[in-house]
Amino acid sequence: MARALNRRFYRFSVGGLADVAEIKGHRRTYVGAMPGKMVQCLKNVGTANPLVLIDEIDKLGKGHAGDPASALLELLDPEQNANFLDHFLDVPIDLSKVLFVCTANVVEMIPNPLLDRMEVIALAGYITDEKMHIARDYLEKTTREACGIKSEQIALQLVRQGVTNEQSLKVSLQQGAKQLREKSTEEPTQIADDGPGGKKLEDGNSHERATTTTLTESEQAIEVSLHEQPNGTATEESEATSHEHLVEQLEADKVQPTLLSSDGIATTDQPVDSKVNIKTSDVKDVKVDNVIEKVIVDVSNLADFVGKPVFHAERIYDQTPVGVVMGLAWTAMGGSTLYVETALVEQGEGKGALLLTGQLGDVMKESAQIAHTVARAILLQKEPDNPFFADSKLHLHVPAGATPKDGPSAGCTMITSMLSLAMKKHVKKELAMTGEVTLTGRILPIGGVKEKIIAARRSEVKTIIFPSANRRDFDELAGNVKEGLEVHFVDDYNQIFELAFGSNSKPQI
């Protein structure tokens, strides 16, 4: 940012900072007194309009030496920082031309008066496509160079489900190899001996056999690598890269005659004279000793190199059973799926009750009570003769049990889970929902739209239900994030009921 704005750059971290003197400086009466960070900043950059990065502002401390967050109020207030007073200099300093950029992981940890002086720009995590691009174009190259591995020593095969199948890739590569073989044998190729005179050969048969052998080995290597891939799938990038590499290799073999020296190193130093003819028997067989072993890294052996996967699949059910509905949640680490499970504990006249587990916070417990009330009202509309909620003690659980959870956005998911159990109906497959619910069944907006969509795509969800108030947030997302998803925006829970169960769904006995 500083480079783009043509400004000098200065950075300091305030994580764990508990002394106001670090911001505003010490008074000169103290031994070892020093000016504050902003005076040191202006001294180092030598300009009045630098870009200053204040890192980890959500982790400010507080101690006996004062509250640094309160000291930053004057620093970040554009109405006051034109006369910022440093205790060491004891003269006003004009900081109105400074551009401040602060970073934080959890915005809620920033004091509200300080947050009011900022404009919040949320940076969401990378989606899968972006991670693959970064790994393929940057991380793989950087890591390979750091380990001293040449590009020709390793082949990384990026495999992704549903892009192409094994047979189509194999046929494409074999057809390309056949065409290149025919093209490479149309013209005679010269092979020179390693003798002092550099004998020339215009008989193309030997090179034709060598080319054919090379092509056959390449095809075998391609077939082996394909068989190692799970489900016989590969990316379009892998197909194009393998095909281009094969074309370049065969074109190089055709255009440049390969001269093998005694130490096994291929060279092309000798000129080729097509007028000199010798017999094929005059060409000596040269043993190549310095052959570099090539390692192929794919899904089947990736764990041997980098270890077992850190994260596991979040999807628990292929088809959710009765009483289970998939919701969506988000944290500072990104989005995730959130299942809501409801089970019947006991049934009897007047035993209606609700038991909650799963380390739910106060807001989420209140949301569950609201969901229970709304579910009773909706069941009374849909099935007036069904006394399920009045006579049933229910147990509502939100896995995983060791993870604390809070927030109101699971309200519609809880209602759907209870109604699914009461009516003995499955929720539609590949459906996820999120939204806060009022006692009258209205759906209120939620946060973390992009993170929740990324979590849904990761769990192969096809249909998502969002509150209508979040339509603007959805429209601002990039096309590759929204691609392949069917998103419905609702204002009332009755709309969710139709989307989740349908009008013609039958109870499951």
Per-residue pLDDT tens over the stretch 64-87: 767 888 888 888 888 888 888 888
Report the alpha-carbon distance of residue 144 to residue 153 in Å, rounded: 10
Radius of gyration of the chain (CA): 34
Q: Tell me the whole-structure pTM to 2 decimals.
A: 0.60
Helix segments in 66-118, DSSP class H: 68-76, 112-115
- Asked if residue 160 has pLDDT above 50, the reply is no
Mean pLDDT of 119-141: 83
Between 133 and 504, the more confident residue is: 133
The predicted pLDDT at position 248 comes to: 53
Whether 409 is catalytic is yes
The predicted pLDDT at position 55 comes to: 92
The predicted pLDDT at position 162 comes to: 35
- Asked if residue 394 has pLDDT above 50, the reply is yes
The pairing of beta strand 324-331 with beta strand 295-297: unpaired
- Asked if residue 181 has pLDDT above 70, the reply is no
- What tokens appear for 339 in the block? 């299942």
The pairing of beta strand 436-437 with beta strand 443-444: antiparallel
Mean pLDDT of 490-509: 74
Q: Using omega within 30 degrees of 0 as the cis cutoff, is the peptide bond preceding 155 cis?
A: no
- Asked if residue 280 has pLDDT above 70, the reply is no
CB 41 within 8 Å of CB 53:
no
The predicted pLDDT at position 157 comes to: 54
- What tokens appear for 437 in the block? 């619910």
**What residues does each domain of the chain span?**
2-115, 157-306, 324-501
CB 38 within 8 Å of CB 23:
yes
- Asked if residue 200 has pLDDT above 70, the reply is no
- Asked if residue 230 has pLDDT above 60, the reply is no
Q: Does domain 2-115 have CATH number 3.30.428.10?
A: no
Out of 238, 242, 336, 409, the active site residue is 409
pLDDT class of 218 with cuts at 50, 70, 90: very low
Looking at residue 17, the DSSP 8-state letter turns out to be -
- Asked if residue 214 has pLDDT above 50, the reply is no
Q: How many other C-beta atoms lie within 10 A of the C-beta of residue 339?
A: 21
- Asked if residue 288 has pLDDT above 50, the reply is no
Report the alpha-carbon distance of residue 417 to residue 496 in Å, rounded: 12
- Asked if residue 343 has pLDDT above 90, the reply is yes
Mean pLDDT of 400-413: 88
Mean pLDDT of 164-177: 42
Out of 24, 200, 405, 452, the active site residue is 452
Whether 452 is catalytic is yes
Between 279 and 322, the more confident residue is: 322
The predicted pLDDT at position 508 comes to: 40
Share of the chain above pLDDT 70, in %: 70
Helices 236-255 and 166-184: crossing angle, nearest 10°?
10
The predicted pLDDT at position 102 comes to: 93
Q: Does domain 324-501 have CATH number 3.30.230.10?
A: yes
The predicted pLDDT at position 234 comes to: 44
The predicted pLDDT at position 241 comes to: 52
The helix/strand/coil state of 12 is: strand
- Asked if residue 170 has pLDDT above 70, the reply is no
The predicted pLDDT at position 266 comes to: 42
Report the alpha-carbon distance of residue 132 to residue 243 in Å, rounded: 20
- Asked if residue 199 has pLDDT above 90, the reply is no
